[in-house]
Amino acid sequence: MNLPTELIRREPFLWINPSLEIDIDLDTADMEQAKNDWEAFGPLIAELFDGAEIDSALTPLLGFFSDSDAISFLKQDNRLPVAGSIKARGGFFEVLSHARELALQEDLIKPGQPLVALASQQTFFTNYRLDVASTGNLGLSIGLMGRAIGFSVYVHMSADAKQWKKDLLQSRGARVVEYDGDYSLAVTKARAASLAEPRSYFVDDERSLRLFWGYSKAAYDLIRQLPDDITPERPLFVAIPCGVGGAPGGIAYGLKALLGKSAHIFFAEPVESPSVLLGMASGKRDDIKVQDIGLTGKTLADGLAVGRPSGYVCRQMDRVLSGIFTVTDQSLLAMQYRLYREEGIKCEPSACAGLFLPHFIRTEPGQQYLQRHSIKPLNIRYVFWATGGALIPEEKYQDQLAEGKVFLEQQPNMLD
């Protein structure tokens, strides 16, 4: 197996996907269906959560990158209403799709009838159970939406999951099952627990199509917010933090389907858990995990602490994804601090990974990529997906900021 040496040596680098088809024509039927379903779910979400709408602001980052005149934006899913992370885009979609399916099966509603009636059917839904495995944020999304609808919810959590996420879930009545192992173990256990319960529905972060298409709707949301002069010559470069691959994969698919060769999508992964990079670069997809090449899979970026990628996502990204870059935990903390200091924006470490894309575009593989696609650096419009953070307890956040400040002072140039 011929893997990039940086991958094995845990050195941050940009991997360019050799199978990219820049002008690919993708089928939009599933994402259009998901968009229509999201519209149908809107009034129900608003009823359950005080008028909430599941989208976030696109915030210009002015002067954040000192030597770059390219225009940059932050897509602020760190403040996504209710669950405070990108994972709600898929998680809410799947819970509500399942709730609607059950309600139709049991004649609680008729086809085409508004779904808002489901907001007061908690007694019906307590008879049904949801199981999900999570490093944290997917669990929060399934737990918060599942409990609001009335489901009994079991969240199976890996050792990386943060205590405050477990506490929040328990305070909403979700059961938290903890494992002293990694995320892949939690998924295996959760799948088995769900199979053993006839009324349980398993939200499968590694394989769920509902999650994937639920995430893809974010592409429509982003395009509505962008300037309308995105062209192949003035393209969009989007960077999304990546764990198992579902959230960034769904969004990447959606953006490529809608923008074609005007969109270039990159994922960002920690140096110790670059699961999708390994799955794609080796061609082995979910037949390989980061531990197989001597990495630990451990990172403080808990949302990205995934050793084995989704095989489905690796396959979908084969011709769609431009590349993947890797980042260290220290640089994530330093970037988290900079975002706070310069923009007053609160993110969790995982959510800051995308902001390193301009740095990697300046490295040799990045420059070759621009040449190959005849792109002038100043014409790039960057979108960094800030994927989570609103719900971090203040005390924990302050501790992370203090650590990040130290790393930034030690290595002020690491973020250029």
Q: Given the rule CB under 6 A, which residues bind ligand PLP? A: 85-87, 135-138, 241-248, 303-304, 306, 348, 350-351, 387-388
**C-beta of 308 vs 381, nearer to ligand PLP:** 308
Q: Quote the crossing angle between the two packed helices 29-48 and 87-105, to the nearest 10°.
A: 80
**C-beta of 135 vs 400, nearer to ligand PLP:** 135
Q: Which amino acid is at 399?
A: D
* Rounded least distance, CB 88 to ligand PLP, Å: 10
What are the C-alpha distances in Å from 408 to residues 93, 389, 416?
A: 38, 20, 11
* Rounded least distance, CB 403 to ligand PLP, Å: 18
* Rounded least distance, CB 186 to ligand PLP, Å: 12
Residue 266, burial from CB neighbour count under 10 angstroms (0-12, 13-18, 19+): buried
What are the C-alpha distances in Å from 107 to residues 34, 99, 122, 237?
A: 23, 12, 15, 46
In whole angstroms, what is the distance from residue 22 CA to residue 281 CA? 18
Residue 130, burial from CB neighbour count under 10 angstroms (0-12, 13-18, 19+): buried
* Rounded least distance, CB 252 to ligand PLP, Å: 10
Q: β-strand 236-241 against 381-386: which pairing, if any?
A: parallel
* Rounded least distance, CB 244 to ligand PLP, Å: 4
368 Cβ neighbours under 8 A, 6+ residues apart: 16
Kindly state the DSSP code that residue 316 receives in the 8-state scheme.
H
**C-beta of 189 vs 234, nearer to ligand PLP:** 189
* Rounded least distance, CB 307 to ligand PLP, Å: 12
Using CB positions, name the residue nearest to ligand PLP: 303
Collapsing DSSP to helix, strand or coil, 30 comes out as helix
Collapsing DSSP to helix, strand or coil, 411 comes out as coil
**C-beta of 153 vs 306, nearer to ligand PLP:** 306
**C-beta of 248 vs 279, nearer to ligand PLP:** 248
**C-beta of 279 vs 366, nearer to ligand PLP:** 279
* Rounded least distance, CB 208 to ligand PLP, Å: 10
**C-beta of 87 vs 98, nearer to ligand PLP:** 87
Residue 394, burial from CB neighbour count under 10 angstroms (0-12, 13-18, 19+): exposed
* Rounded least distance, CB 247 to ligand PLP, Å: 4
119: nearest Cα among 16, 228, 45, 60:
45
CA 70 to chain centre: 24
**C-beta of 351 vs 375, nearer to ligand PLP:** 351
Please report, in angstroms and rounded to a whole number, the separation of the first and last CA atoms in the chain. Answer: 33
Please compute Rg for the chain using Cα positions.
20
* Rounded least distance, CB 148 to ligand PLP, Å: 20
**C-beta of 244 vs 375, nearer to ligand PLP:** 244
